[in-house]
Amino acid sequence: MRIRHTLTVAVAAVLAVAGCGGQDAPRAAESTPPPTDTSAVAPPPSPAPMATASAAPACGDELLASLTVRQRLAQLLNVGVTGTADALEAVQSEQIGGIFVGSWTDVSMLANREIPQVAAASRLPLMVTIDEEGGRVSRVGALLGPDPSARVTAQTMTVEETYRMALERGRELRELGVTVDFAPDVDVSSQPDDAVIGDRSFSADPQVVVQYADAYARGLRDAGILPVLKHFPGHGSASGDSHTGAVTAPPLDQLQQVDLVPYRELVDSGVAVMLGHLDVPGLTEGLPASISPQAVQLLRSGTGYGAPPFDGVVFTDDLSGMQAITDTYDITEAVQAALAAGVDQALWLSTDDVPRVLDHLEQAVATGALPAARVDDAVRTVARAKGALDC
């Protein structure tokens, strides 16, 4: 039976919301009181009425009209920061849509509750994203104390205990100013603990993954944190490590039996989704899924693997520090390819290239290589998840 939940989260007036797992530091190119409102993933919009001469503007039209093309594009970037000053500069100068807190980020940004001052510099609610899975992928373990890995969690805790653990960690993250967690990892894997996925996977049994990932996502969501399922369409059985080179997943028909099961069951439960850098035979035609229109369409429609449609935020995995991407693409090319494929948030690890990326994207929109309508759709999706749109 499909697990479904009604999402009941408050919309933040000013939202601070920071994924990919496993990177330790950026590779060559992963105070005022915090806000008390929670982040929001709003319900799907109601069908729009037929247009008339006096019809109200369509959903998001007024928001889009208030933004330049460059500002719209900036809303689709989620970029790693070294600390408060770096984050402030990127937000103030380019109004980027999100910042990513990595293992290299100065911990004082969190410990001193400095994220709200960064969010205050943003015209729109700011996403503040983080990798906090527990175990070896933790960015706040030294600050808040460790949580067990997903595998240890499933082996030693009940589903209800897992929910309570995620709820507590989510509340702690929210207090620090974080509003998006790139967790839970829903990869289905029997890899050794220290493999690229390994103990980041709850289990080699997809139904166990569904039960525990659902509990973890509910805990985060109930704490006001947007959970992000990863790494679509499934890294658990893939060959290799996308941090160090190209990775090939099993063919799509095999993924449907195991790796895609957690997405089939959980994708409509008020979550976002991260695309992995996975070449999937029979789906991506040699491209990493993170920049593949076919992979995004599979997720969005659900028809290719028996899932409901997905209209939430789609993130890429890191585009600047993982060789599955960087061996072939410059960051400007990777971001353009991801957005054109249908992704809503392009993630990478350093603010240094933000101006160059935006220059490139502006040119791509001007030439039609990146359709303006695609950009506007992504801005609406992101704004809705941030609570900046209620339609």
pLDDT of amino acid 314: 98
pLDDT of amino acid 241: 85
Low-confidence residues of the chain: pLDDT under 70: 1-57
The amino acid that residue 384 corresponds to is: R
Dihedrals φ, ψ of 134, to 5°? 95, 170
pTM: 0.86
| CB of 82 closer than 8 Å to CB of 88 | no
Sequence-ordered list of residues with C-beta below 8 angstroms from that of 91, at least 6 positions apart, any chain: 99, 118, 121, 122, 126
Lookup: tokens for 32: 């005022």
pLDDT of amino acid 87: 98
Domains and CATH numbers, the chain: 61-386 (3.20.20.300)
Dihedrals φ, ψ of 229, to 5°? -75, 140
pLDDT of amino acid 390: 85
| CB of 272 closer than 8 Å to CB of 180 | yes
Instruction: Work out the percent of the chain whose per-residue pLDDT is above 70.
Output: 85
pLDDT digit string, tens, across residues 99-125:
999 999 999 999 999 999 999 999 999
The amino acid that residue 33 corresponds to is: P
Mean pLDDT of the chain: 88
pLDDT of amino acid 56: 56
CA–CA separation, 231 and 278 (whole Å): 9
Q: How far is CA 101 from the centre of its chain?
A: 13
Residue positions annotated with a catalytic role:
243, 317
